[in-house]
Amino acid sequence: MTASSPVPLDATTLNKSLRATFESGRTRPLAWRQAQLAGLRRMMDDAAEELVEALRSDLGRPRMESYGADIGHTKIELRHLAKHVGSWMKPTRVRVPLTVAPATARIVPEPLGVVLVIAPWNYPVQLLIEPMAAALAAGNCVVAKPSELAPACSAAMARLLPLYLDPEAVVVVEGGVEDTTALLAERWDHIFFTGSTAVGRVVAVAAAQHLTPTVLELGGKSPTYVHASANLDVAARRIAWGKFLNAGQTCIAPDYVLVDEEVKDDLVTKLAAQITEFYGTDPQASDSFGRIVNERHLRRLEGLLAAGAGTIAAGGQVDAGAGYVAPTITVEPSPEAPVMQEEIFGPILPVLGVANSRAAEAFITARPKPLALYVFAGRGDVIDEVIGATSSGGVCVNQTIMHLLPSNLPFGGVGDSGMGAYHGRAGFDVFSHRKSVLKKRSKPDLKLLYPPYTPKVEKIARRILR
């Protein structure tokens, strides 16, 4: 079953249909869950080339980036879920205190019900399929809402998913803001949203009307700190890779760099050289550099390069007709400039000098908590100090982006960068209710528990409960 504009979306009927499927019990058995995960794995194999082409159409994405980020990573996550879901489903025995003995107690993971997954446009395959897979592994029905800003990928998801998944338990809804608004008006058992902080607030308000739990995977300005002890060649290469991947349209891309003043000029030179090494002297002609998703976002980035954006050390070119913003390094922008106040979400990297790690920590902690923090240093004490003094969704040391990859590491934000986490067991847990179950026999049945509460009973109770 799919629902797609311009056919009017009847979100209420859709909700009831999926709820009936869930209440029938068909999604609970391990065999059903494994079948859905296996279907997704087959789809990622069978349709890999179609999805790569859709990503190229929507984002001008290089093939290597498309396969690695949206297809390869998703397949790894699917394998991990399939391998472990059977053990995660099992009840966990826990010890009981003397006050309730004799008894047994266990925690039983149960699916929440019918969940809504709203995906963004920047990684439109990975960020739809991976949360969906976690929800299915947990035994839920799913409404999948791809982004209308990635229309080729949205159409591919709408066509492919019903071919590989239980169509009475998984529904793809295409469409724009009006359709998403209609979906958000319904009562779901969980809403998983990936996107901007501004829209995340809208989703949170809508969810609150039904007291629906949410995971909000947002973004923000993820800082990078480079200490004087860092290997600057490696730091420049890894920062440039993380920043310019997908033309900077990555929620955990390094948003700006704070670097010890004594090595700032050297780092800037190496970053600029790294752009040439990656993309040649004309990055616009490179097959390894992507494009901006649409003109509105391109014009926004163009505006960020205007007032107060600092001195451009590399790049700065914009070709609106080609959807191109050059990989750009800008030095010492005003902290109050838009480029330092807004999440950039594009290939512009501000670099600011700081006196030392303490100054970097103060700069970071004065701003909303980011989704990611990157620290480059050769000294362990500096690394530990920065991690301990700051708060972020995740941290990657002497590398960028890669803390996203291990399935055993929960991925999520904190504060303005989001709430909740997924990947691996964390994803299974977020779409499950951990139900507490205490089991006692009819005998013995101690009258000590029941009225009348005599002084003797109270004295015994105080001894037990002290």
456 or 348, greater pLDDT = 348
Residue of 251, 343, 361, 396 marked catalytic? 251
Q: Residue 157 is which amino acid?
A: M
390 by DSSP, 3-state: which? coil
Tokens of 200: 């995340």
105 by DSSP, 3-state: which? strand
Where residue 160 falls among pLDDT bands split at 50, 70, 90?
very high
Res 5: pLDDT: 44
pLDDT in tens, 163-211: 999 999 999 999 999 999 999 999 999 999 999 999 999 999 999 999 9
pLDDT in tens, 54-110: 999 999 999 999 999 999 999 999 999 999 999 999 999 999 998 888 999 999 999
Predicted structure pTM score? 0.94
Please state the φ and ψ torsions of residue 222, each to the nearest 5 degrees. Answer: -75, 115
Res 453: pLDDT: 87
CATH topology of domain 2-218+416-435: Aldehyde Dehydrogenase; Chain A, domain 1 (3.40.605)
117 by DSSP, 3-state: which? strand
Q: For residues 330 and 62, give the distance between their C-alpha atoms in angstroms, rounded to a whole number.
A: 25
Tokens of 207: 């969810």
Residue 8 has pLDDT above 70, yes or no: no
CATH superfamily of 223-407: Aldehyde Dehydrogenase; Chain A, domain 2 (3.40.309.10)
Annotated catalytic, 251?
Answer: yes
Annotated catalytic, 217?
Answer: yes
Q: For residues 22 and 114, give the distance between their C-alpha atoms in angstroms, rounded to a whole number.
A: 7
> Domain residues of the chain, as ranges?
2-218+416-435, 223-407
Residue of 65, 217, 343, 361 marked catalytic? 217
Res 7: pLDDT: 53
Q: Where are the alpha helices (DSSP H) in 148-284?
A: 151-164, 177-184, 197-208, 232-244, 264-279
